[in-house]
Chains A and B, each alone.
Chain A
Amino acid sequence: MLYREAGQYKTNYAADMAIFPLREDRVGIAIIILAAYSLAFLGNSFLLQAVMIPFLVFSLAAIGLNILTGYTGLLSLGTGAFMGVGAYACYKLMTAFPGVNVIVWIFASGFFSAAVGALFGLPSLRIKGFYLAVATLAAQFFLQWCFIRIPWLVNYNVSGALDAPLRTLFGVPVVGATATPQTRYLVVLTIVILLTWIASNLVHGRIGRAWIAIRDMDLAAELMGIRPLQTKLLAFAVSSYYCGVAGALLVFLWYGGAEYDVFNINQSFFILFMVIIGGLGSLIGSFFGAALIFIMPIVLGIVLPAMLSPFGLSVGADVIEHLRFMIVGALIIFFLIVEPHGLARLWQIGKQKLLVWPFPY
């Protein structure tokens, strides 16, 4: 089957405005989703626990930051803190109302970080670019201070850490020490697919156009009747919602417990790099970015020793570790030089080429 636009006629505007107007794209997405679900039954627990679950969690956080930085053009360094708000909120809700299903609380915890995010988004009306980044940095430090200094957030736990109490879904443990990687993977996957679908609905509609309009030319956007403050705050809220849910997933479905320093400034930068390398203003780019930044080092960690051993080189784990950093760093620079607009643009170009293949245009 060739990847072609020809012959696929649209008879109404709704079909033409579909997110995947091409049949081939729809089939492709269906295959990817199916493959992702079957991975739960085919993959071993290392693959699920150490690769796939964190990859999906980081992708979700990257989508959140992409809505803010990529689509609306507001640079934020508070991602880690907003993820933290989600995680702490989820913990408080889960322990205060143990009877309610944990999935409900994971979705609800996002609203807390949305509120906090919107609050810290208020300066965005007046300041832009690097200055806004500094303002969000304040959010990062202030919230992290809260996580350390307010013991109420961890229910006066002496260790000061979040722990994951046992919670079940349909009788199967999903949170807690007894939850298997398989169940946790399936839950995370479903949540990420659902939220990605919603994000793609948002960015393709009126709200997404308002966000991009503010990013591309805020004065003209205002003249179209798009209110800058509301639009930016909505971007902050939605973005933080995604980060908050990602934070809750990170603690309760991946780590199974965490301390405050999971949500430090490094985490913020980590997510920001994913967004920049994946592609600003692209949802699929968020997945690419998370894959490159998170999965690539793991793959190298496995592949490098195997590659070096035939040469009789037995190198220590520390050397492998250093090599890994160097290669990942070099790859990031390489991709940024080849395509400054991120991996998503490469993907776009590839698809465009495939559409007209074997002709150049």
Chain B
Amino acid sequence: MRAPDNPVAAKQDVLLAVDNVSLGFGGVKALSDVSFDIRKGEIRAIIGPNGAGKTSMLNCINGFYYPTEGQITFKGVKRPKMRPYLAARGGIARTFQNVALFKSMSTLDNIMAGRSLKMHANFFWQLFRHGPAMKEEAAHRRVVEDIIDFLEIQHIRKTPVGRLPYGLQKRVELGRALAMEPELLLLDEPMAGMNLEEKEDMSRFIFEVNQQFGTTIALIEHDMGVVMDLSDRVVVLEYGRKIADGTPDEVKRDQRVIDAYLGVAH
């Protein structure tokens, strides 16, 4: 469906390109020579067995790690060595495998914190919590309330997130990432440890984010059913190498993927 019939057009709607990226920690190679791209508006899944380098890949994309070799191109610009907040500024948001919320803050404040980059009232007005500062708070609160409505978490608005059950925490974390209005949303195992119902909800939210806001999504997930249903294209990693890349159907039939997941007879 999205096969690059016209190579020029296909190049143009690439949002993020990973070219020959390798990442090593001392003697350990987490990624070696991985190349793939993420196109504007698609849901891109990164799958692979444990320790395949999926999370390391996300960490490279949002600037926690800098690839030892290779290049990452985001929105057509080759990225220099950068800190994560610059990636955030560029429009990359992310959720974590182990929920990384601000535990003592309420749901509201967590999602408000996601709006940090969009808030500009200066220090002087912040001192008095008046005028532009308060106007800004209220305006962003409105956006945050929309996100809360979208994720159906109205009832836990003012609860400190540390007290919430795991499934809801995951949802708040998605909300916090959405508050950044990202162009590229990275989801690291958004459905880990959830029951079926919660997984269905989360899948629905991910799908709706992609459809309604046109957000490009890259997700890591172990639930193959979810991956195959949600994603437009899948890249498969094993031991830090790319072993397959294509539509879910292509990947499913790939012998190397089957070997990686089921093992090879010796």
Report which B residues bind A (CB closer than 8 A).
62, 64, 83-85, 87-89, 93-94, 96, 100-105, 109, 112-114, 116-117, 119, 121, 123, 126-129, 133-134, 136-138, 141-142, 145, 176, 180
Closest Cβ neighbor of A281 among chain B residues? B104
Determine the distance from Cα of A42 to Cα of B113 in the docked complex, in whole angstroms: 46
A222 contacts across to B, CB distance below 8 A = 83-85, 88
In the assembled complex, 26 residue pairs joining A and B whose CB atoms fall closer than 8 Å, in A order, are A13-B138, A13-B145, A17-B141, A201-B126, A201-B128, A205-B129, A205-B133, A206-B119, A209-B112, A209-B113, A212-B109, A213-B102, A213-B105, A217-B102, A219-B64, A219-B100, A221-B102, A221-B113, A222-B84, A223-B87, A223-B88, A224-B88, A225-B89, A225-B116, A226-B85, A228-B85
Closest beta carbon of chain A to B235's beta carbon, Å: 22
CB–CB B142/A213 < 8 A: no
Q: How far is the CB of B189 from chain A (nearest CB, A)?
A: 15
Closest to B92 in A: A223
A198, CB-defined interface residue at 8 Å? yes
- Give the nearest-CB partner of B103 in chain A: A216
Measured between beta carbons, the chain B residues less than 8 angstroms from A228 are 85
Interface positions, chain A 190-219, Cβ under 8 Å from B, are 198, 201-202, 204-207, 209-210, 212-213, 216-217, 219
Q: B176: nearest residue on chain A (CB-CB)? A: A224
Q: Decide if A29 is an interface residue (CB 8 Å cutoff).
A: no
Beyond A14-B134, A17-B141, A209-B116, whether A220 also contacts B102 by CB under 8 A is yes
Q: Is the beta-carbon distance between B138 and A14 smaller than 8 angstroms?
A: yes
Q: Check A206 against B134 for contact (C-beta < 8 Å).
A: no
- Tell me, rounded to whole Å, the shortest Cβ–Cβ distance linking B215 to chain A: 16
> What is the minimal beta-carbon distance from B116 to any residue of chain A, in angstroms?
5
Q: Do A213 and B113 have beta carbons less than 8 Å apart?
A: yes
In the complex, how many residues of chain A place their beta carbon closer than 8 angstroms to a beta carbon of chain B?
30
Interface presence of A227 (CB below 8 A): yes
A225 engages B128 (CB within 8 Å): no
Are B85 and A223 touching (Cβ within 8 A)? yes
Q: Report chain A residues within 8 Å CB of B85.
A: 222-228
Give Cα A19–Cα B141 distance, bound, in whole angstroms.
15
Known A13-B142, A216-B101, A225-B89; 17 more pairs at CB < 8 Å: A13-B141, A14-B138, A198-B128, A202-B127, A204-B129, A205-B129, A209-B105, A209-B112, A212-B104, A212-B109, A213-B105, A213-B113, A216-B103, A220-B102, A222-B84, A226-B113, A228-B85
CB of A262 to closest CB in B, whole Å? 29
* Residue A159 at the chain B interface, CB threshold 8 Å: no
**Any chain B CB within 8 A of the CB of A12?**
yes
The reply to whether A220 and B100 contact each other, CB–CB distance below 8 Å, is: yes
- Chain A residues 109-156 with CB under 8 Å of chain B are none
Give CA–CA (A68, B192) in the complex, Å.
Answer: 35
Taking the closest CB of chain B, its distance from the CB of A21, in whole angstroms, is: 10
CA distance A225 to B176 in the complex (A): 12
Judge whether B96 and A220 touch: CB under 8 Å. yes
Q: Which of B88, B93, B133, B180 has the most CB of A within 10 A?
A: B88
Scoring B85, B87, B114 by chain A CB atoms within 10 A of each residue's CB, the highest score goes to B85
Contacts of B87 in A (CB 8 A): 223
Please determine whether A224 and B116 come into contact, CB atoms closer than 8 angstroms. yes
Q: Which residues of B contact A205 (CB under 8 A)?
A: 126, 129, 133, 137
Report whether B116 and A226 are in contact in the complex, using a CB–CB cutoff of 8 Å: yes
- Shortest B265–chain A CB gap in Å is 42
Give, as a whole number of angstroms, the nearest-CB distance from A112 to chain B: 18
Q: How far is the CA of A176 from the CA of B44 in the complex (A)?
A: 72
How many angstroms from the CA of A234 to the CA of B188 in the assembled complex? 32
**Residue from A202, A209, A225 in contact with B109 in the complex, judged by beta carbons closer than 8 Å:** A209
Contact status B126-A14, CB under 8 Å: no
- How far is B64's CA from A228's CA once the two chains are assembled, in angstroms? 14
Give Cα distance in the complex from A221 to B109, angstroms: 13
Q: Which residues does chain A contribute within 8 Å of B123, judged by CB atoms? A: 207
| CB-defined contacts of A209 to chain B, threshold 8 Å | 102, 105, 109, 112-113, 116
| A14 lies within 8 A of B116 (CB) | no
Nearest Cβ on chain A to B36's Cβ, whole angstroms: 22
- Considering the chains assembled together, what is the distance between the CA atoms of A54 and B102 in angstroms? 35
Closest chain A residue to B94, Cβ basis: A223
B residues within 8 A CB of A220? 96, 100-102
Q: Which of A219, A225, A228 has the most CB of B within 10 A?
A: A225
Q: Is the CB of B137 within 8 A of A223?
A: no
Residue from A206, A219, A226 within 8 A of B126 (CB atoms): A206
Cβ contact within 8 Å between B117 and A225: yes
A216 touches B105 (CB 8 A): yes
Please state if A223 and B112 are interface contacts (CB–CB under 8 Å).
no
- Please, how many angstroms separate the alpha-carbon atoms of A228 and B63 in the complex? 14
**What residues of chain B lie closer than 8 Å to A202, measured between beta carbons?**
126-127
Residue of A nearest to B117 (CB): A225
Indicate with 1 or 0, residue by residue over A51-69, a CB within 8 angstroms of chain B CB atoms: 0000000000000000000
Distance of A217 Cα from B176 Cα, bound (Å)? 13
- Bound together, the chains give a CA A224 to CA B121 distance in angstroms of 17
Shortest distance from the beta carbon of B123 to any chain A beta carbon, whole Å: 7
Q: In the complex, what's the smallest C-beta–C-beta distance from B90 to chain A, in angstroms?
A: 10
CB of B155, distance to nearest CB on chain A (Å) = 15
Whether A17 contacts B116 by the Cβ 8 Å rule is no
With both chains docked as a complex, state the minimum distance between the C-beta of A272 and any C-beta of chain B, in angstroms.
Answer: 20
Residues in A neighbouring B176, C-beta threshold 8 A: 224
Q: A17-B137, A222-B85, A226-B116 are in contact. Are A216 and B104 (CB under 8 A)?
A: yes
- Would you give the shortest CB distance from A95 to chain B, in whole angstroms? 29
Identify the interface centre among A205, A222, A228: most chain B CB within 10 Å of its CB. A205
Give the Cβ gap from A118 to chain B, nearest Cβ, in Å: 14
- Closest chain A residue to B158, Cβ basis: A16
